[in-house]
């Protein structure tokens, strides 16, 4: 269709579905398309190390298109870009480290001015690894009228300044704090801390700031991103829950969890929609406590080093009807086959390591066929990962055999599948098997793993990559 016959309103609507990278080519087609797609090209502007940036003149000319501005990387020289007249930003990331080749005091002044010019900012992510940011910068941040997400990284400030930030950002929905430190080593003064009734999500990494949780009565999601002090985090969380302070909490992420403390927290929560445990030892106490939330559970991530996880994984699959995302530890094919029928028909993302214990070819095929039968009921799956721990070296895990003669054809029901990952598992696919994957899963975008001893999916003879 010629561009002249395409209504401008329709072209503008179509352009909204393009990424900045995809919009670059159509922006060069003609003047009209350039005027439409340039807005998309400049919607998100990122400065990274070793990335060639447009001239100041070009950036200034297109500044009014930029909505998301990201400074990412180390030793960036960004002081010239900070004077570009960006005035319509909704998202600002300033994640860069100390650069001894520039006047850092002047840099902070310009960053403060940039923030002050953009009163429509909804998300701000700021890193200050050398504690050079002036108080004026934070005062400018907390004065933003529609700021909803604030992420602070590598920041060291006096506790009274942090208390001012907390009390000033009353409209926040999301707060993320990584590697926060206090110059004066003072504890939070509960008497001066105001309640944040709008805050719904909080990420913490330092135990000094755990008391903030009790000032967030409507918190729905909390994430602990520190392998240390996880027991203290869970203990304090359980106390606040038992006191009725966090009655809305329904999503929990933690690292290196202690089984007893995690169980206490799970028992105290009214409901759980999402639980993610990275590392740690989840054992009988936590697993038993989690069963009371099976009817509401939607997202579950379990640590890969769980002992005797097979029975519990089978129980989850047979007991959680609302589950949409499940990242499971290693189980054996026998444990899956002997389990109850699955009820998690809404599952869209499934990541599991399944080991077939017997090396006999017939048994591998029979067990693969039975498990493919189970998988065929997950008709909403978009991502399926059935892989090994080690995905970099030569395949060593005897997993499911993705072959038509092993029941692969049963997976024709997975019409929504976009990603298949069997990396690290031993496969011996034929060209017909690979063609079936290509032809049956029309939406497939990525296949990870070696199909056979010859190589990857796109390397198979007669198969277009």
Question: Any residues with CB less than 8 A from the CB of 425 and at least 6 apart, and which?
Answer: 386, 387, 388, 395, 397, 398, 399, 400, 449
d(CA 397, CA 332): 11
Q: Which residue has the higher pLDDT, 244 or 76?
A: 244
- Rounding to the nearest 10 degrees, give the CA dihedral for residues 301, 307, 312, 316: 10
State the Rg of the chain over Cα: 26
Write down the pLDDT at residue 50: 65
Across the range 15-30, mean pLDDT stands at: 75
Evaluate whether 218 touches 247 at the Cβ level (below 8 Å): no
CA nearest 178: which of 214, 211, 224? 224
Write down the pLDDT at residue 152: 92
Evaluate whether 315 touches 288 at the Cβ level (below 8 Å): no
Read off the pLDDT of residues 381-401 as tens digits, 9 standing for 90 and up: 999 999 765 444 455 677 888
Read off the pLDDT of residues 228-266 as tens digits, 9 standing for 90 and up: 888 899 999 999 999 999 999 999 999 988 889 999 999
Read off the pLDDT of residues 188-206 as tens digits, 9 standing for 90 and up: 777 888 889 999 999 999 8
Write down the pLDDT at residue 424: 83
Write down the pLDDT at residue 82: 79
Burial of 78: CB neighbours in 10 Å, binned 0-12, 13-18, 19+: middle
Write down the pLDDT at residue 349: 98
Write down the pLDDT at residue 382: 97
Say whether pLDDT at 374 is over 60.
Answer: yes
Write down the pLDDT at residue 215: 92
The chain-wide mean pLDDT, for the chain, equals 85
**Which phi and psi (to 5°) does residue 397 adopt?**
-90, 130
Write down the pLDDT at residue 256: 86
β-pairing, 91-96 with 149-153? unpaired
- Of 68-77, 354-363, 402-411, 428-437, the range with the lowest mean pLDDT is 68-77
Q: How would residue 461 be classed by pLDDT, with cut points 50, 70 and 90?
A: very low
Say whether pLDDT at 464 is over 60.
Answer: no
Q: How would residue 330 be classed by pLDDT, with cut points 50, 70 and 90?
A: confident
Across the range 150-163, mean pLDDT stands at: 85
Say whether pLDDT at 2 is over 60.
Answer: no
Write down the pLDDT at residue 364: 87
- Of 78-82, 318-322, 414-418, 438-442, the range with the lowest mean pLDDT is 78-82
Q: How would residue 410 be classed by pLDDT, with cut points 50, 70 and 90?
A: very high
CA angle 79, 81, 82 (to 5 degrees): 65
Across the range 281-307, mean pLDDT stands at: 90
d(CA 176, CA 178): 7
d(CA 414, CA 197): 43
């Amino acid at each position: 269709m010629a561009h002249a016959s395409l209504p401008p309103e329709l072209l503008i609507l179509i352009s909204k579905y393009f990424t900045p990278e995809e919009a670059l080519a159509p922006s060069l087609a003609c003047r009209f398309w350039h005027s439409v797609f340039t807005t998309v090209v400049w919607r998100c502007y990122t400065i990274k190390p070793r990335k060639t940036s447009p001239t100041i003149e070009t950036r200034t000319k297109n500044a009014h298109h930029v909505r998301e501005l990201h400074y990412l990387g180390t030793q960036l020289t960004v002081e010239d870009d900070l004077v570009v007249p960006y005035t319509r930003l909704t998202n600002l990331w300033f994640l860069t480290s100390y650069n001894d080749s520039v006047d850092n005091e002047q840099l902070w002044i310009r960053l403060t001015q940039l923030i002050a010019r953009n009163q429509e900012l909804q998300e701000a992510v700021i890193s200050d690894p050398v504690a050079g940011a002036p108080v004026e910068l934070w005062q400018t941040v907390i004065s933003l009228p529609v700021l909803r997400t604030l992420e602070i990284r590598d920041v060291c400030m006096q506790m009274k300044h942090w208390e001012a930030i907390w009390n000033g950002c009353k409209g926040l929905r999301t707060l993320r704090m990584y590697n926060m430190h206090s110059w004066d080593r003072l504890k939070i003064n509960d008497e001066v801390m105001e309640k944040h009734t709008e805050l719904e999500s909080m990420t913490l990494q330092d135990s000094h700031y755990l008391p903030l949780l009790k000032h967030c009565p409507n918190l729905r999601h909390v994430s602990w991103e520190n392998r240390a002090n996880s027991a203290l985090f869970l203990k304090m969380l359980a106390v606040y829950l038992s006191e009725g302070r966090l009655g809305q909490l329904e999503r929990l992420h933690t690292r290196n969890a202690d089984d007893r403390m995690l169980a206490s927290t799970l028992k105290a929560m009214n409901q759980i929609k999402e639980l993610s445990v990275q590392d740690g030892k989840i054992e009988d106490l936590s697993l038993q406590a989690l069963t009371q939330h099976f009817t509401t559970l939607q997202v579950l991530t379990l640590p890969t080093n769980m002992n005797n996880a097979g029975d519990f994984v089978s129980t989850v699959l047979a007991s959680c009807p609302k589950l949409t995302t499940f990242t499971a530890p290693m189980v054996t094919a026998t444990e899956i086959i002997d389990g109850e029928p699955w009820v998690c028909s809404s599952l869209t993302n499934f990541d599991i390591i399944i080991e077939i214990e017997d090396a006999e070819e017939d048994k591998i095929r029979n067990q693969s066929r039975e498990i493919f039968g189970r998988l065929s009921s997950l008709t909403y799956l978009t991502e399926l990962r059935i892989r090994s721990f080690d995905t970099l070296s030569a395949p060593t895990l005897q997993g499911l055999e993705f072959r038509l003669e092993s029941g692969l054809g049963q997976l024709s029901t997975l019409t929504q599948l976009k990603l298949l990952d069997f990396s690290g598992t031993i496969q011996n696919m034929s060209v017909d098997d690979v063609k079936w994957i290509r032809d049956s899963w029309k939406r497939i975008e990525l296949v990870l793993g070696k199909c056979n001893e010859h190589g990857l999916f796109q390397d198979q003879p007669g198969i277009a990559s």
